[in-house]
Amino acid sequence: MNDVSQPISSDVLLDTYAQPGETTVDEVRHRIAQALAQAEAPAQRALRAAQFLAVQREGFIVAGRVAAHAGTGAKSTMINCFVQPLCDSITHAEGGIPGIYTALMETAETLRLGGGVGIDFSPIRPRGARIAGVDTLGLGPVGFLQLFNLSCELLGSTARRPGAQMGVLRCDHPDALAFAQVKTQGGLASFNLSVAVTDAFMQAVNDDTEFELVHAAEPGPVQQAAGATRRADGLWVYQRLPARRLWAAIVGGAHERGEPGVLFVDRIQADNNLGYCERIAATNPCGEQPLPPYGACCLGSINLVQLVERPFEPSARLALERLDTMVPVAVRMLDNVLQLTHWPLPQQRQQALAKRRIGLGFTGLGDALIMLGLPYDSEAARQLAAGVARTLRDRAYEASIALAHERGPFPSFKADGVLRRGSFASRLPGALQRDIRAHGLRNSHLLSIAPAGSVSLAFADNVSSGIEPPYAWHYLRHRRRRDGLGLAAYDVVDPAWRLHRALRGASAPLGPAFATATQLPPAAHLSMVAAVAPYIDGAISKTVNANEGCAYDDFEALFRQAWKDGLKGVTAFRSRGVLGSVLQAPAPRHGTHTGSPA
């Protein structure tokens, strides 16, 4: 397959990633390779640049910010995603965590330089709570959510790339119900929303018992009159409500609008290789990376379509052995990004270099399965996807161990902490665990499956993005014209569908492997995530798609099943409108976020 064979792919490449004078994918790859080789010793740079170019030609795709900014000299970040902390104060910092307006400025700077931002609004006191020393009452997280949204929209009005944010609130926050329902009022276009739910809350949902909504801030007079009380641990209990009432608001919002999603925060923390030195309360906007305060992750994806040999033949196979040579080079490239990128904030640089998170994943899974003749909703497809993820995991950890031997482990590395019982690393093969103890790890985390939508379009002929099945075989897509005057319409085709027609003829039946996202049962989406998740130490950006007729009860069962499967999160979207045009149907979220792993 050609790298770019559709007009939209060429235009996205030129508009979003190419620099002046660059007109082809390979010219962009040359720039990336040369730029990332600058982190190497001078005598090694030519060799490394050649390797970096070769692995891109074989199917490795760096994330969009790397593709757009590597080697340009611009003070823009090569990091796609961040998490911004804040505390319950307008201006004053607490324990190194900035107040709300300082956090707003830091968020604006991160967005301005090209990064997406996730924010946990849980520290903010509930609406109506007292503010000590001030004759007023708190606005609550939803009020400040509007402020952050407006700031992002103002920045985005002149930006080359619209800003994206993730807003998170804990399920035990007194304003959780209002947060879960806020998008019924419209607006908040720059935000994806997720409720961070605990195991205790999910157990209360299962048992149909009441659940306490609590906060450290003192309740206001209305809340005290309603019976707010103070617990022995100092937290105020603002309200007790049936857990299923909040759960119904969360699932109901997802059923009607695709939001909020759910983050299973206890699972995220238990699985975290760095659980011994950090707490995670939020993710990046698309959910493929749970991150600590000021955390960041640089991303890249391997195009699985390029690993398919003899597509649509009985002997079709996925050449997994090619990952043996591709993955070490890809890991090295992403590690180099951390050394070379411009950081919007010094705190982000400090956090990233202390832990050196990266996120290597794959894209094109849906199209690769079709070319192999495997229906997405089949045990054979799930086993193959799990095998890809397992191979990717093992090769990536091997590469990071080798880099630690060469360059040193990440500064926060402690073998006993990384390999503590229950962590992701504690489930690695024994040989890898022994090597980690002997040599360390260069990167605390190595794996994420990102949406990879724009880069899959620009660099890989619109292959199905990330872990998703294809959206449609042939559809109309609109995007802003290059001159900024309105929208241009593009006729877009799925590459597997087009290749099948070229090989078998336009009238040949497509066969059972051809199924689009909304033609699959919602459980098929969740089952694929559950198959892959045990091998991903970050998370998986995935939308559980459903057609318009999917009942609320089926949605509710999916969300519960995601928790039972040990996933890190779930997002579901019920497609409505005219299928076949991604902009005539309700637009999918920025990337949407089903987390991983078991």
Helical residues (DSSP H) of 427-510, grouped into ranges: 430-439, 453-459, 495-504
User: Whose CA is closest to 194, among 121, 260, 253, 266?
Assistant: 260
| CATH code of domain 81-283 | 3.20.70.20
**Token code pair at residue 369:** 């399965």
Q: Which two tokens stand for residue 510?
A: 């497509």
Which helix (H) or strand (E) segment holds residue 311: the answer is: none
**CB atoms inside a 10 Å sphere around CB 61:** 29
User: Is 21 exposed, middle or buried, given 0-12, 13-18 or 19+ CB atoms closer than 10 A?
Assistant: exposed
The answer to whether 80 and 299 have CB atoms below 8 angstroms apart is yes
- Structure tokens given for 359: 């996120």
Distance separating alpha carbons of residues 356 and 296, to the nearest angstrom:
9
Q: Is the pTM of this model over 0.75?
A: yes
Is 371:316 a contact under the CB 8 Å cutoff?
A: yes
For residues 289-309, one letter each, b for 16 or more C-beta atoms within 10 angstroms of the residue's C-beta and e for the rest, the string is: bbbbbbbbbbbbbbbbbbbbe
H or E stretch covering 406: helix 379-407
CB atoms within 10 A of CB 362: 28
* Count of other CB atoms within 10 angstroms of residue 95: 7
Which residues, in sequence order, are CB contacts of 176 under 8 Å at separation 6+?
169, 170, 195, 213, 246
Token pair in block for residue 405: 């031997």
**Which residues on adjacent β-strands are paired with residue 15?**
none
CA distances from residue 446 to 199, 298, 518, 541, 583 in whole angstroms, order as listed: 26, 10, 31, 15, 34
Q: Which two tokens stand for residue 364?
A: 């094109």
Contact 475, 577 (CB under 8 A): no
- Concatenating the DSSP letter of every residue in 185-221 gives G---TTEEEEEEE-HHHHHHHHHT-EEEEEESSPP-H
Report the SS3 class of residue 518. Answer: coil
Backbone angles phi, psi at 171, to 5 degrees: -65, -20
- Predicted pLDDT at 547: 85
Cβ-contact 10, 26 below 8 angstroms = no
Q: What pLDDT was estimated at residue 165?
A: 94
- DSSP 8-state assignment for residue 407: H
347, two tokens: 């705190």
CA separation for the pair 387, 532 (Å, rounded): 8
Neighbours of 506 (CB within 10 A): 7
Whether the Cβ atoms of residue 291 and residue 83 lie closer than 8 Å to each other: yes
pLDDT given for residue 457 in this prediction: 93
CB neighbour list of residue 211: distance below 8 Å, 6 or more residues apart: 171, 172, 200, 201, 204, 240, 241, 242, 243, 246
What is d(CA 340, CA 452) in angstroms, rounded to the nearest whole number? Answer: 22
Query: How far is C-alpha 509 from the chain's CA centre?
Result: 35
Pick the closest to residue 598 from 526, 514, 544 (CA basis).
526
Cβ count within 10 A of residue 37: 24
Can you give the pLDDT at residue 155?
80
Which candidate, 19, 21, 24, places its Cα nearest to that of 4?
A: 24
What residue segments make up the domains of the chain, in order of their start?
81-283
Structure-token pair, residue 580? 């076949």
Residue 548 is predicted with a pLDDT of 87
269-to-125, 187, 266, 288 alpha-carbon distances in Å? 24, 31, 5, 15
Task: For the chain, 598 residues long, give each residue's pLDDT as a single digit of tens.
Answer: 444 468 999 999 999 999 999 999 999 999 999 999 999 999 999 999 999 999 999 999 999 999 999 999 988 999 999 999 999 998 889 989 999 999 999 999 999 998 999 999 999 999 999 887 555 567 899 999 999 999 988 886 445 556 789 999 999 999 999 999 998 878 888 899 999 999 999 999 999 999 999 999 999 999 999 999 999 999 999 999 999 999 999 999 999 999 999 999 999 999 999 999 999 999 999 999 999 999 998 999 999 999 999 999 999 999 999 999 999 999 999 999 999 999 999 999 999 999 999 999 999 999 999 999 999 999 999 999 999 999 999 999 999 999 999 999 999 999 999 999 999 999 999 999 999 999 999 999 999 999 999 999 999 999 999 999 999 999 888 888 766 678 889 999 999 999 999 999 999 999 999 999 999 999 999 999 999 999 999 999 998 988 888 999 999 999 999 999 999 999 998 876 533 333 333 233 333 344 443 3
Quickly list H helices, 59-208. 64-69, 100-112, 140-156, 176-181, 199-207
Give CA–CA dist 127/169, Å, rounded.
13
Q: How many whole angstroms separate alpha carbon 5 and alpha carbon 21?
A: 20
Judge contact between 91 and 72, C-beta under 8 A.
Answer: no
What is the pLDDT at residue 488?
87
